[in-house]
Amino acid sequence: MTCYPEILAGLVEGRHRWLITGCAGFIGSHLTEALLSVGQEVTGLDDMSRGHISNVNSALNASGGAGTFRFLDESITDIEACREAVRDCDYVLHHAALASVPESLADPVRYNEVNVSGFVNVLQASREAGVKRVVYASSSAVYGDDETMPKVEGITGKSLSPYASTKYINEIYAEFFTRVYGLECTGLRYFNVFGPRQDPNGAYAAVIPRWIEAVRSGEIPVIYGTGEQTRDFCSVQNVVKANILAAAAPEASGRVFNIGCGVRTSLNELLEKIYAVFAPGTEARCINEAPREGDILHSSASIQLAQDILEFCPAVYLEEGLRILNDYQA
């Protein structure tokens, strides 16, 4: 697996206190691991509704630095838990959320409660605690039905799901807290993040871990649609790097940035690459089913703004990310 001290070399100056919400989830656990590996003080908040305690344990065991970790088994829907978690913290990396388009269509009330009300709790607690900056996870889903390609931050379309709506509302609240209350907030619109510890199970699992598990077990992966829809697949190592850059970049407050690789890959191409890495010599096969409601047809990121303001550039592209994942699972 990619070494986080190398990726973060020169990006973290001094020792700081960080709160990571959703610390036991996929992205949150990587942020925890990375910050501990470079000697930071980390508080993790997670209600374990989607996270796994093994993710936190593996991050602690893998860290090679002298960081310290405090874990709180609480929810962002509890304002008092947020206040306790953010106490004495310098930076907040907010990644606690529900993140499935189909699930949000089935349960919009729950998605609003966690993703919107929970987010406002984190912002309010951070404001009260005098946090230097909140970096929060947004999503490429906010682009909705806009057909501009590649996606640029200033152009969005109509929302296609409650999940997408919650992320867009988060951006509105963050801008308000920055402009009115002076709380520095920076949003990162993630494009199809993948990597080690991403859960392959459940009806709403992300496509890469779900397909890898199918290919490894000899099953035939399912593609919803023709497979010609395109995505910008971004290895989790890039997301970790972007978070640390966003926490410190002087001109990033009050803004949102695309975080991807700037490369379009069709689902059919992705399937070929997965077979090549995880089942070499095996002919790629799939089952095509009807497209799912709320799915975006094409998506790729313009990362120019992130390059200009955050000095962000991807550290890992799709093929290398798949090889890292294969080595991790071996």
Q: pLDDT tens-digit profile of 50-71?
A: 999 999 886 666 445 678 999 9
Tell me the average pLDDT of the chain. Answer: 94
Q: Is the pTM of this model over 0.85?
A: yes
For 222-277, where are the E strands, in sequence order? 222-224, 230-231, 234-235, 255-259, 265-266
Structure tokens at 114: 């966690």
Tell me what pLDDT residue 57 has.
85
Distance in angstroms (rounded) separating the CA atoms of residues 259 and 153: 11
DSSP 175-227: HHIIIII---EEEEEE-SEE-TT----STT--HHHHHHHHHHTTPPPEEES-S
Give residues with Cβ within 8 angstroms of 269, minimum separation 6: none
**Do residues 92 and 122 touch, judged by C-beta distance below 8 A?**
yes
Write the pLDDT tens digit of every residue in 158-175.
999 999 999 999 999 999
Burial 311-325 (b: 16+ CB within 10 A, else e): ebebbbbbeebbebb
Distance in angstroms (rounded) separating the CA atoms of residues 243 and 92: 10
Structure tokens at 47: 């209600």
Tell me what pLDDT residue 63 has.
47
What is the set of domains in the chain, with CATH numbers?
4-191+235-262+299-318 (3.40.50.720)
- Give the residue ranges of DSSP H helices in 53-194: 53-62, 79-86, 101-106, 108-111, 118-129, 162-176
**Do residues 301 and 191 touch, judged by C-beta distance below 8 A?**
yes
Which has the higher per-residue pLDDT, 120 or 203?
A: 120
Bridge partner residues of 42 (DSSP):
18, 69
Tell me what pLDDT residue 93 has.
98
Distance in angstroms (rounded) separating the CA atoms of residues 22 and 17: 16
Distance in angstroms (rounded) separating the CA atoms of residues 180 and 173: 10
Banded pLDDT at 293 (limits 50, 70, 90) = confident
**Do residues 113 and 77 touch, judged by C-beta distance below 8 A?**
yes
Strand pairing of 265-266 and 230-231? antiparallel
3-class secondary-structure state, position 138:
strand
Tell me what pLDDT residue 60 has.
63
